[in-house]
Amino acid sequence: MKSPFDTTLLKLLDIDESSLLAPAINSRANLFELTEQSYQAAIFPENPSILNHSQRAAVAVRICLLNDEMQLADHYKELVTNEDDQDIYDINELPKDLRLASIMNHIDANSRDPKSDPQSQIAKLKSSGLSDTEIVGIFAIIAFVSYQLRVAKGLRVMKEGL
């Protein structure tokens, strides 16, 4: 198992062994390792299905921007390797591609207010031709990034407040 301080999130937040938070983080080292593994699985899966790795990173940027999480958004922007995918994280406009637009519409709704008419959201994704597996794959990205950005936010305020 790698040190929790070598994981993507803690490196990004500049939290190392010298931090006041280090003893608490070390006591939960396995959870930071699982967070890293979840990050790899959500953004860089071996079987990316409907969204490739660059598009997944762009989706993560979009979710971070919706949550005012600029540091993590900047990290994900660096992982968007296809310039065309930058449309995905324009939160003021939906992509021109109708299928992608439908996916982003869903991502916005589930990120902002997960209780908002979910059955209709699923129906729209299905009518855009998405399979159940593709739909669950999209949820997996939204849910993971929603978790990750809150761990980042929580650790940041802990650094400031302790």
Residues near other proteins (CB under 8 A) are 20-21, 23-25, 27-28, 30-31, 34-35, 37-38, 41-42, 45-47, 66-69, 110-115, 118-119, 121-122, 132-133, 135-137, 139-140, 142-144, 146-151, 153-155, 157-158, 160-162
State how far the Cα of 69 lies from the Cα of 71, in Å rounded to an integer: 6
Closer CB to other proteins, residue 27 or residue 81?
27
CB of 75 to other proteins, least distance (A): 17
The per-residue DSSP string of 14-40 comes to: T--TTSTTHHHHHHTHHHHHHHHHHHH
Closer CB to other proteins, residue 54 or residue 148?
148
Q: Which of 131, 91, 127, 134 is nearest to 109 (CA)?
A: 91
CB of 127 to other proteins, least distance (A): 13
State how far the Cα of 74 lies from the Cα of 80, in Å rounded to an integer: 10
